[in-house]
Amino acid sequence: MTQPDIALLLSVVDGVGTFAFALSGATLAIRKRFDIFGVLFLAFVVAVAGGVARDVLIGAVPPEAIARWHGFAIAMAGGLATFLAYPLVRLLSRPVMLLDAIGLALFAVTGAQKALAYGIDPVIAAVLGMISGIGGGMARDVLAGEVPFVLRTDLYAVAALAAGAIVALGSEMGVPPAWTMLLGASFCIFLRIMALFYGWRAPVSRWSRDHGPPA
C-alpha cells in the first residue's frame, strides 16, 4: 500500500473507533444521570483521549483529534444519538459492549500503525497501540467515578496489547498494514467477546492484603 492509502485507511478506521467510543462514553454518562453537556463532554473525552495520548507520545502535535473538526463531529454525533435514543441503546446493551470492543480494537491497531509510521520501535509501538486503545476507557471511568475497567480482570488492556503486537510483528515481517490491522483488530475483538460472554479473565494474585494466601 502507498503512504496515502495507509493514511486514508487510518482515518477511516479512526472514525469508526471514535464513534464506537463516543457511544460507550455517552451510555455511561446517562447511567450516571449526567446532563446533556456532561453526556456530550464524556462522549468526546472517551472518543479522543487515547488518540491524543498516542499522538503526544510519538510527537504528532497538535494531536489529530483536536487539530481537525472531524473527530469532534463524530463524537458529538455519537453522544447525541445516545442521549436522544437511550432506551433503544439500553435494549441493545450487548451490541453496545461489542461496539466498545470494536472501538478498543480499532484504536489499538491504528495506534500501533501510526507509531510505526513515525519510526517508533516495534515493541514500543505495540505498547502505544494499547495506550491508544485503553486511554478513552480509562478517562471515561475516572470521570464517571468508576474503577477503571482496564484495572479489572477482564481482558481489556491485554486484548489491546495483543492487537498492537500483531500489527508491530506484521510490520517487521513485511506484511501489508491492511492485513495486520485486520488480524490484530479481529483478535482483540475475539478476546473481548470471550471475556464478556464466556468469562475469560486475566490471572489474579493468589495473595490478599487482608487475608493472606489461600488455604
Mapped onto helix, strand or coil, the DSSP state of residue 119 is coil
Q: CA 19, 125, 117, 104: dihedral to nearest 10 degrees? A: -10
Taking the CA of residue 68 as centre, how many other CA atoms within 13 Å lie in the half-sphere pointing to its CB?
A: 9
212 pLDDT higher than 60: no
> For 120-175, what is each residue's pLDDT tens digit?
999 999 999 999 888 888 888 888 887 777 776 578 889 999 999 999 999 999 99
pTM: 0.80
CB 108 within 8 A of CB 133: yes
The mean per-residue pLDDT over the stretch 39-46 comes to 92
Q: CA 203, 207, 208, 214: dihedral to nearest 10 degrees? A: 100
pLDDT at site 110:
87
59 pLDDT higher than 70: yes
- Model confidence at 58, pLDDT cuts 50, 70, 90, reads confident
**Of 183, 170, 133, 178, which is closest to residue 155 (Cα–Cα)?**
133
CA distance to 151, 189, 197, per residue, from 14 (Å)? 24, 16, 26
